Structure 1
């Protein structure tokens, strides 16, 4: 019972600090509000680097519904910033966050890199057809300014038609209705729950060498872990010491120049897998499809660009088929 009493006491302390900050927000300048938040957040452990999602949600009355696995991690990470004041251009939660600063910070906490602005973030990941198809952790984007066309606001979908967002000057990060978004993007792998299961040894990657590394890299870079595992199988047969006749090395068979350009150590499985995921993400964004990205990984981006599709090389065409087939088996 003593432990439970301590938890209730801690929650009450955080609630009081947030209420004190809210009171300061209504009567002081922006600078004073930021100072009030910084003091309250630091003392309460709600700066985004410590504290708990549960305490943050309870302190603000949030009732957002999280998904499971990676989806739930995104929502939990976002909940840690509830109550942080809005600050245009803000990326530091001890001072304030704007909408895209919040999104970048939340995904950064999970090791996933996103661009800085909402318009740039609107090109990340893959499109979601509509709110009915949205999953927790998806990004919802809005064009709110008639005077300036284009995306100018973003929030993190948490389920049940709600999002966590940094709305506007004078407000704070909070849970609110999504309304009608202009577009929705999924930054997590297409099957986040499957990726999460793979990370714990379940589903299609159970028993696959380096399954945890494939799952982690896939989550960071927005690439299907099954696809990464399939590439490793075809490239090296999961042999981290493999060396091809052309000089490609390691688990993911990087040529020396490509490895140097990406800052990858081909002999280190973790570095090799993460580098492959990062490179495949770049190729997918450039060419617009997984098949073309795989072809570019095998034959080089220049060959795909010159061919206007998968190059007419038997090796490359076979590579794309083999990787795709293996990925389906692992999914």
Structure 2
């Protein structure tokens, strides 16, 4: 979907589906409808989204409006169906899906989507805010959607409901919506136009839940987009796989399609393991064992510079 008109139409569809919650379980439906009414949202199947004063709905407002449609939906671990319940990442994935935008399923995977936001002072409504709340496991384990003014909307925990709350101090902030488009996801966006192998980055990114811009950034830093490159250490191909790693993933390092798909798979695994994009990149460069031993990005100048270079390159392609 493209353009503000499409987004407005999409929001109208969301509004029209509100009545469907009446067919859900009584507790879920009543909680949702009561919260929606309290928030000033219409529960009529014939009510369209209200335009802004200028007569259009911005991308940021579209995301916020879509998120508020789920106020009061009960929290359910692993939940992706609002008629039954939503967990934190099921909620955020559902919001963007309502606008025709695909993001990964889990909070740790979603923390690789779009582009990085430096801090809360730079955050905009519609940005994803991520948290590391577990002392027993390092890495991202919670996500909410920023509303502005220090508030977010999120599905907090078992026994609670989707609600508006203070944002606190996010560990990571990511922007999925491009600044100039209301409904075009960052993944596979115009930033990759003219980039070698952009179609491979887009397809592998969608398959494994990794930002295509991140894959392009890795290829640029690793090989300069040279599919025949071989390093002095023996790393091969576009994504510079060591033979042992390539064999373990079933990758042909010198075949661009296989290499990009393998890199997306590997980065997805590393992100789940370590909980953040930066640590996944560090593990891609220095090995998972080095990241585990260091308890973070290893104190190797090469690895630290690698993470910075790939992140900067990915931001330029997003």
Specify the structure having the higher radius of gyration (Cα): 1
- SS of the aligned residue for 2:144 comes to strand
Q: TM-score, normalised by structure 1?
A: 0.51
* Structure 2, unpaired ranges of 5+: 1-7, 34-42, 134-139
Cα deviation digits, residues 103-157 of structure 1 (max 9, x gap): 3555787242424xxxx799888786436634513137799xxxxxxx9985323
Shift, 1:160, TM fit: 7.3
Q: Aligned-pair RMSD on alpha carbons?
A: 6.1
Is the contact between residue 141 and residue 153 of structure 1 (CA under 8 Å) also seen in structure 2? yes
Could you list the runs of 5+ residues in structure 1 that have no partner in the other structure?
Answer: 1-6, 38-54, 144-150
Please give the residue correspondences for 1:1-331 in structure 2 after superposition, counting only pairs within 5 Å.
Answer: 15=16, 18-19=18-19, 21-22=21-22, 29-30=26-27, 33=29, 59=47, 67=59, 75=63, 82=70, 85-86=73-74, 88-89=76-77, 91-93=79-81, 95-100=83-88, 101-103=90-92, 105=94, 110-115=102-107, 129-130=119-120, 133-139=123-129, 155-157=144-146, 163-166=152-155, 178-184=164-170, 186=172, 188=174, 193=179, 199-202=188-191, 205-214=192-201, 225=213, 228-242=215-229, 248-262=235-249, 264=251, 266=253, 269-277=256-264, 279-280=266-267, 282=270, 286=274, 290=278, 296-302=283-289, 305=293, 308-310=298-300, 316=302, 320=306, 323=309, 327=313, 330=316
> CA separation in 1, counterparts of 2:94 and 2:228?
37
Q: CA deviation at 1:329?
A: 10
List per-residue Cα deviations over 1:62-117 (Å, max 9, x = no partner): 7797547xx97xx39955974894253361416422342323555787242424xx
Greater relative contact order, per chain length (Cα 8 Å cut-off, separation 6+):
2
CA contact 2:155–2:161 (8 Å) conserved in 1:
yes
TM-score, normalised via structure 2 length: 0.53
Question: Structure 1: how far apart are the matches of 2:48 and 2:156?
Answer: 15
Give the whole-Å Cα distance in 1 for the aligned partners of 2:303 and 2:158.
53
Kindly indicate which of the two structures has a greater share of residues assigned to helix. 1
> Aligned pair count?
275
